[in-house]
């Protein structure tokens, strides 16, 4: 069978949209479609999705992508060999096993309604915020699925009743979609994968199974939880009524883990995905590294039932591309996001201006909820071009803060030990990428295909059925093909001075939360 005769599909179910991308045997995309879906904000700080609308978006994307690929002469209907799935990670829902109906909207990962539950647990449990850190690598936070599940159990009567009747199923979006794809009420499989499970706060990082003591302390019944599988194995087949009935679902990963696989990050290599925020993950190999510098410990991926588990350190940046959107929509300094590069290129530096986008506090590694945005170093010399450049630098500074913490946690000294791989929409900005290389002090690699999340899901599925081998996926020649490498050109003393000034600017953003108008 030639490479042209093999196709792998990837469902990429994100926070604001769903995509389906079809790849050929050379891992090149040959057809895709994307659909946005509704964001619900029932109260301040609450964010929800309609689970049935997400299912429908998948159906539409699959059909449209196939139509596009077929129109271009690809016989996808006959030669699609497997499907991989990647998803927004901590978004949580509970549905009825007997009817298939969601018992409440999906509570999105960024939803903050569980703050009171988090505070209660921190007071009740001996270890406070770090009580479950040893088992799951995560602090008690509204970010993670377990707290969202507790809220549903305590506040939604339909969820309480279904659990009492043993009719409730809990899952993140991967579990929900796999259950639907494999038959739903007619034999649907209730599973999740190790990467998504590692973000619930309920999985033990060492055993890769649900942690019995955690479930007991939180009062969560084990029977509502899905079975945990690896990232690359045949989970089940697509049921009748769906396109590609009979095709195996053979890969599943959370979005940031999928991007890591799509970037082929080996041990010691990090990737940064630039979107509204930025997510940086470092592959620590088979070592579970506990962070003492504001990072999370998580699973990277497990590429097969018997494969070794690779772990990761993760740092999340709340505001990355959103700062550019702020310049566009709120300030009116630019009319489109792509204009920021041209504007920033009008000056050779930020002219001593530092912009800290702490719009709603700072995430890793600072973790300051009381921080608010500041722009300092302004003089009569300052122009909007300097501010635009400072905004781009703020994205790179924040990513570099996380990378520095990763180095400290790993016991490394030289930044050259890291080879940063980048993806996401903002990486088309060449100036931003060069700034990132300069501030990091090591090469930054941008692949030819920057949509590496879907590619990672395709890789996992293809690996499970033998289309690709790990040697191919992680081959340096393959992953460097047509990639753009940005190398640092900034003098070390300049870099050190800028980093010192940035840290001072960050501290200026502290304790400003009460200064709201």
pLDDT class for 78, splitting at 50, 70, 90?
confident
DSSP assignment of 172-198, as one string? EHHHHHHHHHTTTTTT---EEEHHHHT
Are residues 303 and 463 in contact, defined by beta-carbon separation less than 8 angstroms?
Answer: yes
pLDDT of residue 517: 37
What is the token pair recorded at 180? 């639907």
Closest CA to 36 of 59, 55, 19: 19
Cα 317 to Cα 192: distance, rounded to the nearest angstrom? 26
User: What pLDDT, on the 0 to 100 scale, is given for residue 24?
Assistant: 94
What does the block give as tokens for 369?
């909820």
What is the mean pLDDT of the segment spanning 430-438? Answer: 96
CA gap 222, 289 in Å, rounded: 27
Please state, in angstroms and rounded to a whole number, the distance separating the CA atoms of residues 61 and 33.
5
Confidence of residue 43 (pLDDT cuts 50, 70, 90): confident
Weakest-pLDDT range from 146-160, 417-431, 436-450, 471-485:
471-485
Strand 191-193 with 203-204, pairing: unpaired
Mean pLDDT of 317-330: 88
pLDDT at 202: 97
Res 3 pLDDT > 70: no
Distance (Å, whole) CA 166 – CA 516:
47
- Nearest residue to 89 via CA among 36, 14, 185: 14
- The full set of domains in the chain, from first to last, is 3-255 (3.30.420.40), 275-413+497-517 (3.30.420.40)
> Per-residue pLDDT for 349 more than 90?
yes
* Arithmetic mean of pLDDT, 307-331: 90
Is pLDDT at 416 greater than 50 in this prediction?
no
* pLDDT for position 257: 95
Q: Are 111 and 187 in contact (CB under 8 A)?
A: no
Q: Are the beta carbons of 421 and 241 closer than 8 angstroms?
A: no
| Residue 517, preceding peptide bond in cis (omega within 30° of 0) | no
The answer, yes or no, to whether residue 183 has pLDDT greater than 90, is: yes
The distance from CA 274 to its chain's CA centroid, rounded to whole angstroms, is 10
pLDDT of 238? 96
Query: What local confidence, expressed as pLDDT, does residue 516 receive?
Result: 41
Quote the percentage of the chain above a pLDDT of 90. 72
Give per-residue pLDDT as tens, 224-251: 999 999 999 999 999 998 988 999 999 9
Nearest CA to 265 out of 22, 402, 441, 459 is that of 459
Start-to-end C-alpha separation, the chain: 66
* Residue keyed to tokens 């979006």: 173
Query: 104-152, pLDDT tens digit by residue?
Result: 999 998 888 888 898 899 999 998 888 999 999 998 888 899 999 999 9
Distance between CA atoms of 230 and 261, rounded to whole angstroms? 14
Say which residues have a Cβ less than 8 Å from residue 517's Cβ, sequence separation at least 6: none
pLDDT computed for residue 88 by the predictor: 92
* pLDDT tens profile 371-385: 889 999 999 999 999
Structure confidence at residue 419 (pLDDT):
73
pLDDT band (50, 70, 90) for residue 322: confident
The string over 181-219, giving b where at least 16 C-beta atoms fall within 10 Å of a residue's C-beta and e elsewhere, is: bbbbeeebbbbbbbbbbbbbbbbbbeebebbeebeeebe
Task: Give the mean pLDDT of the chain.
Answer: 91
Measured distance CA(5)–CA(397) in Å, rounded: 45
SS3 253: strand
Q: What average pLDDT does range 336-344 have in this prediction? A: 93
Beta-bridge partner residues of 445: 421, 485
Residues 3-25 have a mean pLDDT of: 89
- Calculate mean pLDDT across residues 323-330: 90
């Amino acid at each position: 069978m030639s490479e042209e005769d093999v196709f792998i599909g990837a469902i990429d179910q994100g926070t604001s949209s769903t995509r389906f991308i079809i790849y050929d045997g050379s891992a090149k995309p040959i057809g895709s479609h994307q659909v946005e879906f509704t964001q619900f904000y029932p109260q301040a700080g609450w964010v929800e999705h309609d689970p049935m609308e997400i299912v429908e978006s998948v159906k539409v994307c699959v059909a449209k992508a196939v139509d596009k690929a077929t129109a271009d002469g690809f016989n996808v209907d006959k030669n699609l060999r497997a499907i991989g799935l990647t998803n927004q990670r901590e978004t949580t829902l509970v549905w009825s096993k007997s009817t298939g109906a969601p018992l409440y909207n999906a509570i999105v990962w960024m939803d903050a309604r569980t703050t009171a539950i988090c505070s209660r647990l921190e007071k009740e449990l001996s270890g406070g915020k770090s009580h479950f850190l040893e088992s799951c690598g995560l602090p008690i936070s509204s970010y993670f699925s377990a707290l969202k599940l507790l809220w549903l159990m305590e506040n939604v009567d339909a969820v309480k009743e279904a659990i009492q009747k043993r009719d409730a199923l809990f899952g993140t979006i991967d579990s929900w979609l796999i259950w639907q794809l494999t038959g739903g009420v007619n034999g649907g499989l209730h599973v999740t994968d190790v990467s998504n499970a590692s973000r619930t706060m309920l999985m033990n990082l060492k055993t890769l199974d649900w942690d019995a003591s955690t479930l007991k302390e939180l009062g969560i019944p084990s029977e509502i939880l899905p079975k945990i599988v690896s990232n690359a194995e045949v989970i089940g087949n697509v049921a009748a009524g769906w396109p590609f009935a009979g095709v195996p679902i053979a890969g599943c990963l959370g979005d940031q883990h999928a991007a890591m696989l799509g970037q082929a990050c080996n041990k010691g290599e990090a990737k940064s995905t630039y979107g509204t925020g930025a997510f940086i993950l470092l592959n620590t190999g088979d070592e579970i590294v506990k962070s003492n510098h504001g990072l999370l410990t998580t699973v990277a991926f497990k590429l097969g039932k018997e494969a070794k588990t690779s772990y990761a350190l993760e740092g999340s940046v709340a505001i990355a591309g959103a700062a550019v959107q702020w310049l566009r929509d709120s300030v009116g300094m630019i009319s489109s996001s792509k204009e920021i590069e041209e504007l920033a290129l009008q000056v050779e530096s930020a002219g001593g201006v530092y912009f800290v986008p702490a719009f709603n506090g700072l995430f890793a590694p600072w973790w300051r909820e009381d921080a608010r945005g500041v722009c300092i170093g302004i003089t009569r010399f300052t122009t909007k071009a300097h501010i635009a450049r400072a905004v781009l630098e703020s994205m790179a500074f924040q990513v570099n803060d996380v990378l520095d913490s990763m180095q400290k946690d790993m016991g490394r000294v030289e930044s050259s030990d890291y080879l940063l791989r980048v993806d996401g929409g903002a990486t088309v900005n060449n100036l931003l990428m060069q700034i990132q290389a300069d501030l990091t002090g090591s090469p930054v690699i941008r692949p030819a295909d920057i949509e590496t999340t879907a590619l990672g899901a395709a890789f996992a599925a293809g690996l499970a059925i033998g289309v690709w081998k790990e040697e191919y996926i992680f081959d340096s020649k393959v992953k460097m093909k047509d990639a753009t490498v940005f190398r640092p050109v900034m003098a070390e003393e300049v870099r050190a001075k800028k980093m010192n000034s940035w840290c001072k600017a960050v501290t200026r953003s502290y304790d400003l939360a009460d200064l709201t108008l």
